[in-house]
Amino acid sequence: MNQLKYSILLFILPFFTWAQQVETTVDRTEIAIGEAINYQVKVMTDSSDVVTFPAVKTMGELEVIDAFPVDTLKVKAKYQLIKKYNLTQFDSGHYVLPRQIVKINRKEYYTDSLAVHVKDIPVDTTNIKIYDIKTVLKATGKPERFSFKPWLWLLVLIPFLALLAAWYFKRKKNVAAKAIKKRLPPLQEAKLGFKTLDKSGLDKQEDVKEYYTKLTDIVRTYIGRDVAIPSLETTTKELVRILKDTNHKKKLGISKETIANVEAVLSRADLIKFAKFKPLPNEIALDRKTAENCVLEIETEIHRPVLNEEGVDVELIKKQAVIRKAKNKKIAKWALGLGLVLVLLGGLVYKYGFSYLKDKTLGNSTLELLETKEWIASEYGYPPVQVETPKLLIYKEQDFPDMLKQAMNEISSFQYGDISDKFAVILTTATTKQKAPEYVTSEAIGKVFIDLLMKKGLSPVGDITSEEVERNGKTCALSTVQLQYKVPDTAEKIILKLKGISYADDAGLQNLMSIYLADDSYGEKVADRIITSFMPLSGKFIKAKEEDDDNE
């Protein structure tokens, strides 16, 4: 029996030992949605043990959002390995963190399973304001007008850019030819070389090898450029032979004496450079003069003018013709480009008018208002009135007369722009304290507000014209008058035009005025659209307010 107990103990002991060596911990078992759990797996091992921790993206239904490197702690004669994980879950509920496999020396050992509770986020719906779904609104804006301001600039710039691109590529293609043209002519280059050589003082040195090298380079370079033969890469004999052959084939007219002098100078230079021959000072001066004479003689003999019957240089005539042709071609290109631009501009002016193009290009504030893509339709004040404007009207305190204030319960004014800006929109609504007398008509209210403007430095030019118009089933008064305005701090006086519409009933009054320059066609179109959109809503809203008061 004792032997059997001992055998069972020996069998269980290793598992018990490793169970004590693999330990798991969590910082909490209850979290909110999306919070992280710090999960740790600890293993106590010897330095020779090989431990493999779980490398997974999920542990059961929990997601591994971070897996940290293994930490190592020395505990007496052993080592404690700690692997940390951050786990989370985005759905509320009860979850089980299952057992995980840890391999120690290729043997599998399991961690303990843990229960985790993920709490839902409480939502208080008692304090949330719930609104009805809004009805579909009918679009009231006009079709968007084509804005061709960027296209105008594009059409103007296209010909210019095309010409610029053609000039650039042509210039790039002929860069080598232009580089040659910028180089001095062969004769001028040779003369400049002789002048520089004379100033160098190389002929005064004991060793004149460098002097003769430069002297022969000048002669060879000139012959190579002017006669168009290889001169710098050939020996003296080869150069003289090629020069004779070219002179004969092309009938250049270079004399035998000139060719002999060229050969003499080059041959003497070869003796000095390669045979260490030392010339006398008078010989150096003679070679210098001979070299220059050879260049001058070749220039004269090659470029002897061919005269026509009238005694005019034929080559000169040809050169002048080429220059004239190139100049005319250049003028034609620019004329074509300019003509294309003028045609495009002419077409645009014919279609849209010069004034519109000028204002569109340089900018015009009322034109920009007129072509605003989305006008704003909104209700203002009480009794409410609906108006469509390119910019939102802003509430503004107005200095109304005491008499008007005493007759009204509440006066509200909304405005965009100012008279000093030469464009303004002013909307005023007010509720009356008592039933309005019969003489308080829409037309009378309109004239009252026009009279109020007179106190702001405006004076009428002509009479006020009024007519009745229907808006939302109500009879409104449409008023028009021209006003003179003196610009502050200047002697300038300008003529403005006012268009206004007003409505009055027992509930209150509504007045809308639009002021703009008398000769501003864009301002007039903006004003007409604003005045046309005037919609008094007092009847409907007043009735609703009275019903609410009765219920109370």
Same structural domain for residues 222 and 351? no
Task: Report pLDDT digits (tens) over 266-281.
Answer: 998 888 888 888 888 8
Question: With contact defined as beta carbons under 8 Å apart, do 226 and 294 qualify?
Answer: no
Task: Report pLDDT digits (tens) over 368-401.
Answer: 888 888 898 888 888 888 999 998 888 887 777 6
Question: With contact defined as beta carbons under 8 Å apart, do 512 and 498 qualify?
Answer: no
- Section 534-549 average pLDDT: 53
Task: Report pLDDT digits (tens) over 354-366.
Answer: 777 777 777 788 8
- Count how many domains the chain has: 4
Identify the CA nearest to 292 among candidates 393, 363, 190: 190
Q: How far apart are CA 410 and CA 391, in angstroms?
A: 25
0.75 exceeded by pTM: no
- Section 338-347 average pLDDT: 79
Q: C-alpha angle with apex 398: 393 to 400, nearest 5 degrees?
A: 135
Rounded to a whole number of angstroms, the CA Rg of the chain reads: 51
Please give the pLDDT value at position 130.
64
Q: How far apart are CA 233 and CA 221, in angstroms?
A: 11
Q: Structure tokens of 367?
A: 């034109």
As a dihedral over the C-alpha atoms of residue 3, residue 6, residue 8, residue 14, rounded to 10 degrees, the angle is -150
Q: How far apart are CA 252 and CA 352, in angstroms?
A: 68
Same structural domain for residues 220 and 345? no
Please give the pLDDT value at position 541.
34
Task: Report pLDDT digits (tens) over 12-36.
Answer: 334 334 444 788 888 988 988 888 8
Number of residues assigned to the chain: 552
Please give the pLDDT value at position 84.
92
Q: How far apart are CA 381 and CA 428, in angstroms?
A: 8
Same structural domain for residues 334 and 432? no
- Section 85-90 average pLDDT: 91
Same structural domain for residues 445 and 489? yes
| CATH number for 223 | 1.20.120
| Residue 397 burial by Cβ neighbours in a 10 Å radius (0-12, 13-18, 19+) | exposed
Is it the case that residue 159 has pLDDT exceeding 50?
yes
Q: What is the mean pLDDT of the chain?
A: 80
Residue where a domain terminates, one of 320, 347, 363? 363
> What is the CB neighbour count within 10 angstroms for residue 486?
13
Flag whether 94 is in a domain.
Answer: yes
Q: Structure tokens of 497?
A: 């035009």
As a dihedral over the C-alpha atoms of residue 46, residue 47, residue 50, residue 54, rounded to 10 degrees, the angle is 80
Same structural domain for residues 294 and 314? no
Q: Structure tokens of 351?
A: 């279609």
| CATH number for 470 | 3.40.1000.10
Same structural domain for residues 351 and 385? no
Is it the case that residue 521 has pLDDT exceeding 50?
yes
Flag whether 445 is in a domain.
Answer: yes
Is it the case that residue 179 has pLDDT exceeding 60?
no
Q: How far apart are CA 435 and CA 281, in angstroms?
A: 129
Q: Which helix (H) or strand (E) holds 365?
A: helix 365-370
User: Amino acid letter at 478?
Assistant: L
Cβ neighbours for 30, distance < 8 A, ≥ 6 positions apart = 116, 117, 118, 119
Q: How far apart are CA 129 and CA 147, in angstroms?
A: 43
Positions of E strands within 288-345: none
Task: Report pLDDT digits (tens) over 433-462.
Answer: 766 555 567 777 777 777 777 767 777 888
Please give the pLDDT value at position 11.
38
- More confident of the two residues 408 and 201: 201
Question: With contact defined as beta carbons under 8 Å apart, do 483 and 489 qualify?
Answer: no
Residue where a domain terminates, one of 363, 379, 404? 363
Identify the CA nearest to 155 among candidates 372, 331, 352: 352
DSSP letter, residue 205: S
- Section 66-70 average pLDDT: 90
Instruction: Give the max Cα distance, the chain.
Output: 149
- Which residues on neighbouring strands pair with residue 236, listed in sequence order? none
Q: How far apart are CA 515 and CA 425, in angstroms?
A: 6
Same structural domain for residues 393 and 514? yes
Q: Which percentage of the chain shows pLDDT scores above 90?
A: 12
Cis peptide before 159 (omega within 30 of 0): no
Question: With contact defined as beta carbons under 8 Å apart, do 429 and 381 qualify?
Answer: yes
Same structural domain for residues 351 and 449? no
Task: Report pLDDT digits (tens) over 494-505.
Answer: 888 888 898 888
Cβ neighbours for 232, distance < 8 A, ≥ 6 positions apart = 217, 220, 221, 224
Flag whether 276 is in a domain.
Answer: yes
Q: Which percentage of the chain shows pLDDT scores above 70?
A: 81
Q: Structure tokens of 518?
A: 């008398």
Flag whether 139 is in a domain.
Answer: no
Q: Please identify which residue in the block is written with the tokens 């050992």.
A: 109
Identify the CA nearest to 190 among candidates 162, 227, 163, 155: 227
Question: With contact defined as beta carbons under 8 Å apart, do 446 and 500 qualify?
Answer: yes
Flag whether 136 is in a domain.
Answer: no
CA distances from 188 to 12, 183, 185, 228 (A): 112, 10, 5, 16
Q: Which domain holds residue 322?
A: 149-182+308-363
Please give the pLDDT value at position 257.
92
Task: Report pLDDT digits (tens) over 137-153.
Answer: 666 555 555 455 566 66
Flag whether 474 is in a domain.
Answer: yes
Please give the pLDDT value at position 419.
80
As a dihedral over the C-alpha atoms of residue 290, residue 291, residue 293, residue 295, rounded to 10 degrees, the angle is 160
pLDDT band at 124 (very low <50, low <70, confident <90, very high): low
Same structural domain for residues 473 and 545? yes
Same structural domain for residues 291 and 166? no
Flag whether 135 is in a domain.
Answer: no
Same structural domain for residues 287 and 325? no
> What is the CB neighbour count within 10 angstroms for residue 281?
10
pLDDT band at 86 (very low <50, low <70, confident <90, very high): very high
Is it the case that residue 217 has pLDDT exceeding 90?
yes
Residue where a domain terminates, one of 363, 382, 397? 363
Please give the pLDDT value at position 149.
56
Same structural domain for residues 381 and 352? no
DSSP letter, residue 228: I
Q: How far apart are CA 53 and CA 83, in angstroms?
A: 7
pLDDT band at 114 (very low <50, low <70, confident <90, very high): confident
- Section 170-176 average pLDDT: 67
| CATH number for 25 | 2.60.40.10
Q: How far apart are CA 229 and CA 115, in angstroms?
A: 100
Task: Report pLDDT digits (tens) over 411-439.
Answer: 888 989 888 778 889 898 888 776 655 55
Is it the case that residue 285 has pLDDT exceeding 80?
yes
Flag whether 140 is in a domain.
Answer: no
